Amino acid sequence: MATTVAVVAGLALTMSACAPGGGGGSESSAQPSSISTDIASAGTVTLKMTDFWGSAEGKWIDQAIADFQKKYPNVTIDRTSEDWGQLNSTLNLQLQDDAGPDIASANNGWQSLGTLAKGGLVVNLDSYAKAYGWDSKVPTTIIRQNKFTTDLKTMGSGSWFATPMARTSLIGLYYNADKLKKLGIEPPKTLDELEVDAAKAKTAGEIPFQYGSLDGSTSALLGVQAVLADKNKLNDYVYDVPTVKASDVGMKEAVETVKKWADAGYFPKDFAGIDYQTAVANFVKGQGVFRWEYTGSLGLSTEQQKHFGYVQLPQSGGKTVGVGAAPGAMVISAKSKHPEVAAAFLDYLMSPAAGQTAVDLGLVPALSPDVKVPETSLSLTGESAAAKTLDSDDGYVPYFDWSSPTMLDTLGQNLQLVFAGKMDSGKFTAAVDADRDAFLAGQA
């Protein structure tokens, strides 16, 4: 027994002596003084890239690489694709590896991008932003999603650590066009109209909203919140401004709205027992008139795209605010030997040409106001129009769960409590604030 105690005591001593981590903690703010944007004369360069895109998104990045290599024959980009969850959980290790990728797709927020920036694993992109004029190309509300202060305590301001791309992922309202026609209603233009339409659908025996809360789906809540919230305050809330509270950013009203819909029977009868995948499948199969959803998540075929529409409901003031972000935050590894070439590629990913490639593959474009959308695709027409309006209104708000690493769980769990009548909207916003504030306290 005595030896055990001694061993434990010895272990405790060695443990306190050497802390894990911090190995990669190089000075991330160290930047080259002058940036060359002349890639053609950079010599033969091979870049490694890891991303989490498959199917249409995978084809998009492949096409972008091919086009970039055509423009600069001296550059080769070796692409590796990994599963989303797999890459998110291993990217920090890959970027610490000398043979790791030069370019990678990360996830925004503190969980992924913030942690990588803190560890000094990704390049501060400020000088590239200046060289390529990103500050004037990209809407401010999107720029903020990729910025952290150099002390890495605050998100949403400071230096560029990642770039968006000519694609976006939004939360908005999908509708079943055939059902609307049958019910004799036009696609709603405001939240009030939507509620009137939902009531009509209910009377006609349809399920107004396809939704399942078994695994804590939050798209309806966050979609409604963006229609109700003050845009600037909502951005500030997510970007670590402690004086803004959840009740200031439409959270209380959004919770009350979805609870009201649940109580009015606007959701499927047993929505508490329906999981996300089943709800998506049911909606595409024709059950339900409306669905709040992330763009690209319904997996609509070319034929189905003719039968489903998309609207980004404007706020009562007329301006459109929507939850949206690039479907990945592009980073350059601090270990990359050719960051200038990598930055040129990131710049290309934000170009209108990359936006047109996206549309041609049925993906939602961004930063490309002049893209040509195939008119036969109802949903893509709606999605592209939404992205265009959000770009011009500078109306993006980030995904709310970026405000703290545990926020997505907090929202999902407490929303289930609200639906079960075990929590009111006041307690809900208090729980949200408690989660965010605890995280901010830990950051300080």
Partner 1 sequence: MSAPARSTGVWTAAAGSAAAEPRETASAPPRRRSARRRRRWTGLAFAALPLAVYAVVVLAPLVQSIQYSFFKWDGVSAATWVGFDNYVTFVTDPILRSTFGHVLVLICFFALLPIVLGLFSAALLTRAKQPGMAVYRWIFFLPQVMTTVVIALVFKRIYAPDGPLNQALRAIGLDSLARTWLGDFTWALPALGLIGTWVTFGFCMVLFISGTSAIAPELYEAARMDGAGPFREFFAVTLPGLRGQLAVALTLTMTAALRTFDLVWITTHGGPGTSTLTPAVALYKAAFQNPQVGLAAAIGVVMAVLCLVVALVITRVSERD
Q: Which residues bind partner 1 (CB under 8 A)?
A: 11-12, 15-16, 19-22, 24-25, 89, 92, 110-111, 115-116, 118-121, 213-216, 269-275, 278, 405-406, 409, 412-414, 416-417, 420, 422, 442
C-alpha 140/C-alpha 401 separation (Å) is 20
Both structure tokens of 270 = 């047993």
- Closer CB to partner 1, residue 119 or residue 164? 119
Place of tokens 């998104």: 57
Minimum gap (Å) between residue 335 Cβ and partner 1: 14
Minimum gap (Å) between residue 272 Cβ and partner 1: 3
**Distance between alpha carbon 49 and the CA centroid of its chain, in Å?**
20
- Closer CB to partner 1, residue 86 or residue 376? 86
C-alpha 37/C-alpha 40 separation (Å) is 9
* Residues with Cβ within 8 Å of residue 241, at least 6 apart in sequence: none
- Closer CB to partner 1, residue 74 or residue 84? 84
Minimum gap (Å) between residue 432 Cβ and partner 1: 14
Which of 119, 143, 370 has the alpha carbon at shortest distance from 239?
143
Which of 99, 90, 42 has the alpha carbon at shortest distance from 68?
42
Minimum gap (Å) between residue 116 Cβ and partner 1: 7
Minimum gap (Å) between residue 417 Cβ and partner 1: 5
In three-state secondary structure terms, 429 is: helix
C-alpha 403/C-alpha 409 separation (Å) is 12
Minimum gap (Å) between residue 425 Cβ and partner 1: 16
DSSP characters over 47-84? EEEEE---HHHHHHHHHHHHHHHHH-TTEEEEEEE--H
